[in-house]
């Protein structure tokens, strides 16, 4: 069998994994959740949940993956016992399907980002009917840009780990950081921005334990770290045995939180600048305009009010979104592609094309039945599947995978792991705390 790919350095892994984690969830989802859930209170709960719950599960996935160095189904089988094999295989397959369905809706939204990016360009050169088409919600526009986004994703994944995923993540992630900083700095100078900063940074502590807020923060933490589908497992399988995984995992979680917080510093002040410029950001009921409205109506309306600078800011903003989406979508596609390569013995290029086009077919179905299906697929995958699969990962690591083997795996690249704080806390954590908290939060969300 051909040699498996591997990330060529620590930095390459950190950029690829944080590229996966940092996506539309950070730059679009997070600021909106903040705005809807009491500003700083949400930020606070989100950070706590990321460290207490999401990081331990991230570590479970990374360790399983690096231990087995295989696709997710094979990796789950490698840590299972005789009796749990069927459940292990089922968990792997379910994760793979969930990753595919997440990609099916994610790529549609990503396609809109490309369209809005081009619309800003069309605006600059003054072709307004093209701009109109690019920003209108039509079948043709939705399909064309979704297909374009798949072609980008498939092309990168078909090149493999080092020459595809790693190369593009290391190119795109620094660009993302620069773009976000430039935009924050610019927006901060505009009238109205200060009010946004204030709302964002002042936590309303009374709301920190509001059940709706906690459920949203947990969902956000899971989605944002790409957990519960095997993405991090498969990226973990490409990490060298000489790396200290608990440390790398912590860096990735930290970067993910950091960029989410920066995105808030961009989008929330931008909303208040929009308000200041006369754009409506609240509906009649006094609630914030819903999520797509915010990105696709409020912000473009804001850019319109900025005069000449507006088109440039729009161009930068939507290229930021497209980059963030692309480094995430490749990590989703890699889950089923690794399976097709390793268990179905397909060459990578063929696997990427075949799997990618099949998921594209699902996206097209979603586009044609947008109102009936889009929200349903988002909910089923992100609210139910991801937490449940995350729970199963924890149960496997906590109860099935042999302790000595887990320690052996952590010790690779982390000598003295058995005396570390990580080893003292984490095993009991994935065994008891994570499953119970996930269950409690899910039960809440059924009752709520």
Cβ at position 47, least distance to ligand TRP in Å: 15
Cβ at position 102, least distance to ligand TRP in Å: 5
Rounded to 10 degrees, the C-alpha dihedral 125/130/134/136 comes to: 130
Neighbours of 239 (CB within 10 A): 24
Are 360 and 367 in contact, with CB atoms under 8 Å apart? no
Instruction: Find the binder of ligand TRP among 14, 15, 17, 25 (CB under 6 A).
Output: 25
Cβ at position 144, least distance to ligand TRP in Å: 22
Q: Does 100 bind ligand TRP (CB under 6 A)?
A: no
Cβ at position 205, least distance to ligand TRP in Å: 26
CB closer to ligand TRP out of 55 and 223: 223
Of residues 101-120, those binding ligand TRP (CB under 6 A)? 102
Q: Does 445 bind ligand TRP (CB under 6 A)?
A: no
Are 107 and 24 in contact, with CB atoms under 8 Å apart? no
CB closer to ligand TRP out of 252 and 281: 252
Instruction: Find the binder of ligand TRP among 14, 16, 24, 274 (CB under 6 A).
Output: 24
Instruction: Find the binder of ligand TRP among 12, 16, 17, 21 (CB under 6 A).
Output: 21
In total, the chain counts a number of residues equal to 448
CB closer to ligand TRP out of 252 and 351: 252
CB closer to ligand TRP out of 158 and 331: 331
Cβ at position 160, least distance to ligand TRP in Å: 18
Q: Does 33 bind ligand TRP (CB under 6 A)?
A: no
Per-residue string for binding with ligand TRP, 222-241, x by CB under 6 A?
-xx-x--x-x----------
Cβ at position 254, least distance to ligand TRP in Å: 15
Interatomic CA distance for residues 23 and 109, integer angstroms:
11
Q: Does 169 bind ligand TRP (CB under 6 A)?
A: no
> Residue 288: what are its φ and ψ, rounded to 5°?
-60, 140
CB closer to ligand TRP out of 20 and 237: 20
Q: Does 332 bind ligand TRP (CB under 6 A)?
A: yes
User: Which residues contribute to the site for ligand TRP (CB under 6 A)?
Assistant: 20-21, 23-26, 99, 102, 223-224, 226, 229, 231, 328, 331-332
């Amino acid at each position: 069998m051909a040699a498996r790919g591997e990330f060529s350095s620590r930095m390459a892994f950190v950029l690829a994994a944080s590229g996966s984690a940092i996506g539309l969830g950070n730059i679009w989802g997070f600021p909106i959740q903040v705005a809807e859930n009491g500003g700083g209170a949400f930020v606070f709960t989100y950070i706590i949940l990321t460290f207490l719950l999401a990081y331990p599960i991230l570590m479970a996935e990374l360790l399983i993956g690096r231990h087995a160095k295989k696709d997710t189904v094979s990796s789950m089988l490698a840590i299972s016992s005789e009796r749990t094999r069927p459940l292990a295989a089922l968990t792997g397959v379910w994760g793979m399907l969930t990753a595919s369905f997440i990609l099916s809706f994610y790529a549609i939204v990503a396609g809109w980002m490309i369209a809005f990016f081009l619309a800003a360009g069309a605006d600059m050169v003054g072709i307004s009917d093209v701009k109109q088409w690019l920003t209108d919600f039509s079948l043709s526009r939705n399909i064309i840009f979704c297909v374009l986004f798949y072609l980008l994703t498939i092309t990168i994944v078909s090149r493999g780990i080092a020459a595809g995923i790693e190369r593009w993540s290391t190119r795109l992630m620094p660009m993302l950081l620069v773009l976000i900083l430039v935009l924050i700095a610019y927006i901060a100078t505009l009238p109205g921005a200060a009010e946004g900063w204030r709302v964002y940074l002042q936590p309303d502590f009374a709301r920190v334990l509001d059940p709706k807020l906690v459920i949203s923060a947990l969902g956000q933490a899971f989605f944002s770290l790409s957990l519960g589908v095997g993405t991090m497992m498969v990226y973990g399988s490409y990490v060298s045995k000489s790396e200290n995984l608990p440390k790398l995992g912590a860096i990735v979680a930290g970067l993910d939180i950091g960029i989410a917080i920066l995105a808030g510093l961009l989008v929330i002040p931008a909303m208040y600048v929009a308000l200041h410029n006369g754009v409506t950001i609240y509906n009649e009921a006094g609630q914030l305009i819903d999520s797509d409205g915010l990105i696709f109506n409020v912000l473009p309306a804001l850019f319109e009010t900025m005069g000449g600078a507006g088109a440039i800011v729009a161009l930068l903003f939507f290229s930021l979104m497209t980059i963030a989406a692309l480094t995430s979508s490749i990590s989703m596609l890699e889950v089923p592609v690794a399976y097709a390569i390793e268990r179905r013995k397909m060459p990578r290029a063929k696997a990427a094309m075949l799997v990618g086009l099949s998921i594209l077919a699902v996206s097209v179905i979603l586009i044609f039945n947008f109102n009936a299906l889009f929200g349903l697929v988002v909910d089923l995958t992100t609210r139910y599947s991801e937490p449940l699969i995350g729970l199963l990962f924890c149960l496997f690591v906590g109860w099935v995978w042999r302790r000595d083997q887990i320690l052996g795996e952590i010790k690779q690249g982390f000598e003295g792991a058995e005396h570390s704080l990580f080893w003292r806390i984490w095993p009991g954590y994935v065994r008891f705390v994570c499953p119970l908290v996930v269950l409690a939060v899910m039960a809440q969300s059924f009752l709520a």
